[in-house]
Structure 1
Amino acid sequence: MSVALDHSAPSAKAAGLSRRFYITAWRWHFYAGLYVAPFLIMLAVTGLIMLWTVTLYGRDGEKTYTVTPQANVAAVSVQAEAAVREIPGQIIQYIAPRNAEQASLFRINQGDRSFMVAIDPYAAEVLGHWDRRNGLYDLASTIHGTLLIGTLGDYLIEIAAGFAIMLVVTGLYLWWPRDGRGFGSVLAPQFTAKGRQLWKSLHLSIGFYVSLLLVVFLLSGLTWAGIWGEKFTQAWSTFPAEKWDNVPLSDKTHASMNHNGIKEVPWTLEQTPMPASGSDAGVSGTPEGQPVTLDAIVVLARTLGFDQRFQLAFPGDETAVWTIARDTMSNDSANPLMDRTVHIDQYTGRILADVGFADYGIAGKAMAAGIAFHEGDMGLWNLILVTVFCLSIIFLSVSGFVMWWKRRPKGATRLVAPSATEPGPMWKTGAIVMLIVSLLFPLSGAVLVTVLALDFILLRHVTRIKKILS
């Protein structure tokens, strides 16, 4: 009898510690989910809107109009003249058609407003025009990135993304089969279950399958964020302008080519200074001795291998350059390996810089591929995968709230968080793990430390608040 008791005591103690750690992980998952879930729903819904708007209409509206292919294409300069007659102003950008049935697009600034004009590339006739970046895609994109409240919204989303990593870690721990159950009980939903148990089973199984994808989406999205991206990750992985062979540099960076919060240049180039026109630097580009015209630049682009859709940014001032770009992030192609940016001196027509995917650093290459995947640009398979992923994230967020609602007692006036006894060694281990995970993301770590400090100093000593949050 005494031997049996000696063996059962350690076993009972181990089971108690394991249960305590499970409850602790559940509490972390619960509290993180309360903040993160609304953001995940917003990101998934706006992501779906952008994904399918691009698929049906094009990011810049290029699929709105179709044309009948003809034997001859009008000179781009003639097309540009037609665009300016429709919307008098300064031409900022030309977007070449993706295929023979698509229109050419011109972006024209008129004071503080910016318009897109669609031109039949064969007849050089105007098909229509619209306010640039004023459609459904752009509204969804602004909400997706800033919640329509600028920098504050960007910070709130960045905090949520950091805590979402914590949500994945604790979720995978909670998913792990225990109490004698095998993986079959969690790899596939238990459709025979009812009520909250069915919701829990669906939440566990679907959550497992999308967890890795969620981390990929969070990291690729975070690299655009104001703190973790621009100040932390992007700062050490920016393409070095020194790689360009002694060309004069502008005071502006590539980020100046972004407009109204819409990202239009490769991530790794954003903080790199632009080259400047007005010297003899560079290598041969347009034919020497001939005027550097719009048509000459377009011919050069085709000669350099920019087939189908590419974007051509016009010089904006006396030191600016022509910029030819193909960027998967901007939906120019479905292959990030084809990303390329070429800068040309507006006076000499010489090529000042030519940067392709192979020139990016490791982080830049990862971002070029990651953003293309994130946006569903890599083909039909990518479109379907991102659609299913977004719908899964919406379900996981909603099901989390449903399970919480079904678990709370009727008429409860508190959160009814998973209850825990006095914290022990395993609680401390869990706290340290979660603290390390969150501190990988500065804003989330700062918020976590603040919350823990408030809890230790204030919240746990105010009975009413403590009751509500319990």
Structure 2
Amino acid sequence: MTLVSDLSPAKADSSALSRRFYITAWRWHFYAGLYVAPFLLMLAVTGLTMLWTATLFGRDGEKTYVVTPQATHASVSAQAEAAVRELPGQIVQYIAPRTDEQASLFRINQGETSFMVAVDPYKAEALGYWHRRDGLYDLASAIHGTLLIGDLGDRLIEIAAGFGIMLVVTGLYLWWPRDGRGLGSVLVPQLSARGRQLWKSLHMTIGFYASLFLVVFLVSGLTWAGIWGEKMTQAWSTFPAEKWDNVPLSDKTHASMNHGGIKEVPWTLEQTPMPASGSAAGVTGTPEDEPVTLDAIATLARTLGFDQRFQLAFPGDETAVWTIARDTMSNDSANPLDDRTVHIDQYTGRILADVGFGDYGAAGKAMAAGIALHEGDMGLWNLVLVNIFCLSIIFLSVSGFVMWWKRRPKGAARLVAPTVGAPGPLWKTGAFVMLATALLFPLSGAVLLAVFLLDILVFRHIAPLKKALS
């Protein structure tokens, strides 16, 4: 009796080709994961640390003290005087309380050192003070953004984020059901599986649901990065100061209002020049027949609609301005649509610039919403979502390592990467997709090219090295 294969030669070739392409995607996914997973793990852990520190204590420590609401508030100037009595120095910022039970905050500089002083807004009594930006939130933020090594850390994280997009693309290709299986086999984990197959099923299902959010988080984070964000995306999405009507401009940009590596200014304004005081420009702000005082500016802020928490930056020199701001970037509100920045001439009290969410460009609006989502600012649902997402990323990073460990032979002195035979007809397609994905992000593309050249010129010609990386 003659046995006939169920597959025709054409179908057999197609199946082999599909299998080769699958292994190629898996190989890309494997090598990208080697670099990206430790960074994703770090970003998820530090992200959770910042999220819960801000939730429990406040980003600026505003939840540290609780006050008893009274019928009337003390003037902001009286509160400021109490803050200076508690800690002598130069007041540079006032942060209005978010709720009736929270204290007012004043940032006071002593030389190069900044402190925050909490004041009872009803009794104008100082409650305590602490170093500004020197807590757990700030340590986690510095690690999250630069690994505590400055620009080098920023670049390494930017490379990881670019390769993270590649990880998502290859992961979704690997996730797609094949061999006659339906979507149900991958949308729901196969809990009846055992060993590595259970880990794989969980990794695929959780990875699918997390992938969309991972792209949003990676892109919104990348827009703060030094090359792709600052040099490219932010540069062409910066709010144009020319929109202000004949307003004199300072040599400083809005980024000068940031404190160290902590981002406090709306993304689209960072590279926009600050307006300057000392002219007749602008529109009426404080009453023209009254002096421009702290109380007058605080009253103007309320008149303009700045309710609950907002931040008021004091003029720092003879040409600087008063700045009233509320934005999700600084955790001032839960709604990015409420973002607003108002600059006031310190001499005339006239409003020089008033920029709200509606004035942002498309990229600026996307970033305002993306960062609010990224930081978990938009309410309880957002807080829950970010927690689930970060825990999912931690699981995906750990499970990827576990699957590799279970797959590798005991005592293997090499990476045991997925092995692809001779390149098939679709290798160019796969290479183009991955290269295009990486080149959207210059640093990742440069690293990809460097690794490719090292492989051709070095790795494959040194047998022990080639074996170890295979």
- TM-score, normalised to structure 2, is 0.99
Counterparts of residues 156-195 of structure 1 (less than 5 Å): 156-195=156-195
1:289 aligns with 2:269: no
Q: How far did 1:27 drift?
A: 0.3
Instruction: Give the distance between the partners of 1:71 and 1:186, measured in 2 at CA.
Output: 59
Q: Which amino acid is the alignment partner of residue 65 of structure 2? A: Y
Deviation track 1:273-302 (CA, whole Å, cap 9, x = no partner) reads: 000000000000000021100000000000
Q: How far did 1:343 drift?
A: 0.1
Instruction: Give the distance between the partners of 1:6 and 1:363, measured in 2 at CA.
Output: 54
Deviation track 1:64-94 (CA, whole Å, cap 9, x = no partner) reads: 1010001111111111011111111111100
Q: Which residue matches 1:40?
A: 40
Counterparts of residues 46-445 of structure 1 (less than 5 Å): 46-445=46-445
Q: How far did 1:425 drift?
A: 2.1
Q: How far did 1:144 drift?
A: 0.3
The 3 A distance-change label for structure 1 pair 367 and 194 is: same
User: For structure 1, which runs of at least 5 residues remain unmatched after alignment?
Assistant: none
Deviation track 1:386-439 (CA, whole Å, cap 9, x = no partner) reads: 000000000000000000000000011100000111122222211111000000
1:463 aligns with 2:463: yes
The 3 A distance-change label for structure 1 pair 290 and 109 is: same
Q: How far did 1:15 drift?
A: 0.7
Instruction: Give the distance between the partners of 2:29 and 2:421, measured in 1 at CA.
Output: 17
Q: Which amino acid is the alignment partner of residue 25 of structure 1? A: A
Instruction: Give the distance between the partners of 2:190 and 2:7, measured in 1 at CA.
Output: 35
Q: Which residue matches 1:8?
A: 8
Deviation track 1:360-390 (CA, whole Å, cap 9, x = no partner) reads: 0000000000000110000000000000000
Deviation track 1:115-140 (CA, whole Å, cap 9, x = no partner) reads: 00000001111111000000000000
Q: Which amino acid is the alignment partner of residue 387 of structure 2? A: T
Q: Which amino acid is the alignment partner of residue 66 of structure 2? A: T
Q: How far did 1:6 drift?
A: 12
Q: Which amino acid is the alignment partner of residue 248 of structure 1? A: P
Q: Which amino acid is the alignment partner of residue 169 of structure 1? A: V
Q: Which amino acid is the alignment partner of residue 138 of structure 1? A: D
Give the ranges of 4+ consecutive aligned residues of structure 1 lying more than 4 Å apart after TM superposition: 4-7
Q: Which residue matches 2:450?
A: 450
Q: Which amino acid is the alignment partner of residue 351 of structure 2? A: I
Instruction: Give the distance between the partners of 2:203 and 2:5, measured in 1 at CA.
Output: 39
Q: How far did 1:271 drift?
A: 0.3
Q: How far did 1:313 drift?
A: 0.3
Which piece of structure 1 moves more, 277-286 or 420-429? 420-429
Which piece of structure 1 moves more, 202-211 or 450-459? 450-459
User: For structure 2, which runs of at least 5 residues remain unmatched after alignment?
Assistant: none
Deviation track 1:148-206 (CA, whole Å, cap 9, x = no partner) reads: 00000000000000000000000000001111111111110000000000000000000
Deviation track 1:214-270 (CA, whole Å, cap 9, x = no partner) reads: 000001110000000000100000000000000000000000000111001100000
The 3 A distance-change label for structure 1 pair 22 and 7 is: closer
Q: How far did 1:7 drift?
A: 6.7
Instruction: Give the distance between the partners of 1:316 and 1:256, measured in 2 at CA.
Output: 11
Which piece of structure 1 moves more, 84-93 or 351-360? 84-93
Q: Which amino acid is the alignment partner of residue 381 of structure 2? A: W
Q: Which residue matches 1:23?
A: 23
Q: Which amino acid is the alignment partner of residue 261 of structure 2? A: G
Which piece of structure 1 moves more, 118-127 or 4-13? 4-13
Q: Which amino acid is the alignment partner of residue 410 of structure 2? A: K
Q: Which amino acid is the alignment partner of residue 268 of structure 1? A: T
- TM-score, normalised to structure 1, is 0.99
Instruction: Give the distance between the partners of 1:111 and 1:330, measured in 2 at CA.
Output: 24
Instruction: Give the distance between the partners of 2:432 and 2:244, measured in 1 at CA.
Output: 45
The 3 A distance-change label for structure 1 pair 109 and 292 is: same
Deviation track 1:295-350 (CA, whole Å, cap 9, x = no partner) reads: 00000000000000000000000000000000111111100000000000000000
Q: Which amino acid is the alignment partner of residue 139 of structure 1? A: L
Instruction: Give the distance between the partners of 2:183 and 2:370, measured in 1 at CA.
Output: 31
Instruction: Give the distance between the partners of 1:394 and 1:43, measured in 2 at CA.
Output: 9
The 3 A distance-change label for structure 1 pair 176 and 6 is: closer
Task: Give 3-state SS (helix, strand or coil) of 2:226's partner.
Answer: coil
Instruction: Give the distance between the partners of 1:361 and 1:83, measured in 2 at CA.
Output: 39
Task: Give 3-state SS (helix, strand or coil) of 2:274's partner.
Answer: strand
Q: Which amino acid is the alignment partner of residue 276 of structure 2? A: A
Task: Give 3-state SS (helix, strand or coil) of 1:302's partner.
Answer: helix
Instruction: Give the distance between the partners of 1:423 and 1:30, measured in 2 at CA.
Output: 18
- CA RMSD in angstroms comes to 1.2
Instruction: Give the distance between the partners of 2:228 and 2:153, measured in 1 at CA.
Output: 14
Task: Give 3-state SS (helix, strand or coil) of 1:322's partner.
Answer: strand
Deviation track 1:431-453 (CA, whole Å, cap 9, x = no partner) reads: 11100000000100010011111
Instruction: Give the distance between the partners of 2:328 and 2:6, measured in 1 at CA.
Output: 65
Aligned length in residues: 469
